[in-house]
Amino acid sequence: MYRLAIVVPCYNEEPVIKETIKQLSEIIQTMIMKDKITKDSFILPVSDGSKDDTWRLIEQAYHENPYVYGIKLAENVGHQNALVAGLLAAKDLADICISIDADLQDDVSVIEEMVNQYASGHDIVYGVRSARKKDTIFKRVTAEGFYKVMRFMGIKSVYNHADYRLMSKRAIEQLAKYKERNLFLRGIIPLIGYETACVYYERKERFAGESKYPLRKMVGFAFDGITSFSIKPMLFILGIGLIMIVLSILAAVYALISYTSGNVVGGWTSIMLSLWFIGGVVLFSLGLIGQYIGKIYIEVKERPRYNIETFLKHED
């Protein structure tokens, strides 16, 4: 049998955290009865600087429920860092860890299948959506486009997989060696290289509360993933620059021919459009380069990714 830790990053999850703990506790109890996991397996909610009553409810559950531990981060550090904080804290206490969001959209019933896959020799088991029927057309198209772009950029990722996964103790120990601050776990985990498997499930509607990933954050998350793992955008800039040089040479030849033939036509509009276009390309290119430089700036300072203020755990 294995000691299981279920890591649940939480940010302002007051409306749902009680139900999340209840459902996960039932899963743990069922698996204990089947001798799949040990009796000291636990749930580890990680409060990522929540502003509501999330932490108070975690503390309450800790005192009432022997399966509940808890981590309170000193400030909000983002979903990926909160998830890593929970995984690295749990790896010293458990044999396997499963990460799952608190919103109950991921099907908790496949946790047992994840453990079965680990028992059959897989160090990493991905929870993968079997379909996107409940998504809006816009979300479905953008999500599928995101995975295609990631693949085009040469970034390893599992299609339709978010952060619902099982990792063995040794897989998390390897994850701990990745020290970057700009985390994109969906790209880092496949780099670990151990045996992997997938379990498939239908994603549900959010149980309660509001999504913590509006369009703005989703776009930023996708951009962070691309710039953290690929320099192809820089190569695109180089390609655009070469194309602009070729076009400018052709334009110069055309202008010279027009001048020598006396066929000079006023072209104020075309000139202005060209200037605006070139200016936009230049500003976009500078902004993209700035993103890479900014990431380097953050990395070289080597500041801590998170600060654990409180760690609640039951004595063995």
Distance CA 22, CA 91 (A): 23
Q: What is the pLDDT of residues 218-235, one digit of tens each?
A: 666 666 666 665 656 666
Please tell me the predicted confidence (pLDDT) of residue 28: 95
- Output the six-digit token pair for 255: 């202008």
Q: What is the pLDDT of residues 53-101, one digit of tens each?
A: 999 999 999 999 999 999 999 999 888 899 999 999 999 899 999 999 9
Please tell me the predicted confidence (pLDDT) of residue 97: 96
279 and 187 both lie in a single domain? no
Please tell me the predicted confidence (pLDDT) of residue 269: 47
Residue 93 lies in a domain: yes
Residue 218 lies in a domain: no
Residue 227 lies in a domain: no
Beta bridge partners of 4: 96
31 and 159 both lie in a single domain? yes
- Phi/psi of residue 249, each to 5°? -65, -45
CA-based radius of gyration for the chain: 25
Instruction: Determine contact, residues 297/21, Cβ cutoff 8 Å.
Output: no
Sorted by sequence, the CB contacts under 8 Å of residue 136 that are 6+ apart come out as: none
Distance CA 273, CA 278 (A): 9
Residue 216 lies in a domain: no
Residue 225 lies in a domain: no
262 and 184 both lie in a single domain? no
206 and 239 both lie in a single domain? no
Q: Return the CATH number at 153.
A: 3.90.550.10
Residue 215 lies in a domain: no
143 and 270 both lie in a single domain? no
Distance CA 212, CA 264 (A): 58
118 and 241 both lie in a single domain? no
- Output the six-digit token pair for 292: 């890479």
59 and 131 both lie in a single domain? yes
Beta bridge partners of 10: 47
Q: Which residue type is seen at 74?
A: A
206 and 275 both lie in a single domain? no
Residue 226 lies in a domain: no
Distance CA 15, CA 208 (A): 6
Instruction: Determine contact, residues 49/273, Cβ cutoff 8 Å.
Output: no
Range of the domain at 246: 232-301
176 and 116 both lie in a single domain? yes
In the predicted model, residues of the chain with pLDDT beneath 50 are 268-269
Q: Considering its fold, how many domains does the chain have in total?
A: 2
157 and 203 both lie in a single domain? yes
What predicted TM-score, i.e. pTM, was given to this entire model?
0.71
202 and 147 both lie in a single domain? yes
Alpha helices in the chain (DSSP H): 17-33, 54-64, 79-90, 111-119, 137-152, 169-175, 185-192, 215-229, 232-261, 268-301
28 and 123 both lie in a single domain? yes
Residue 221 lies in a domain: no
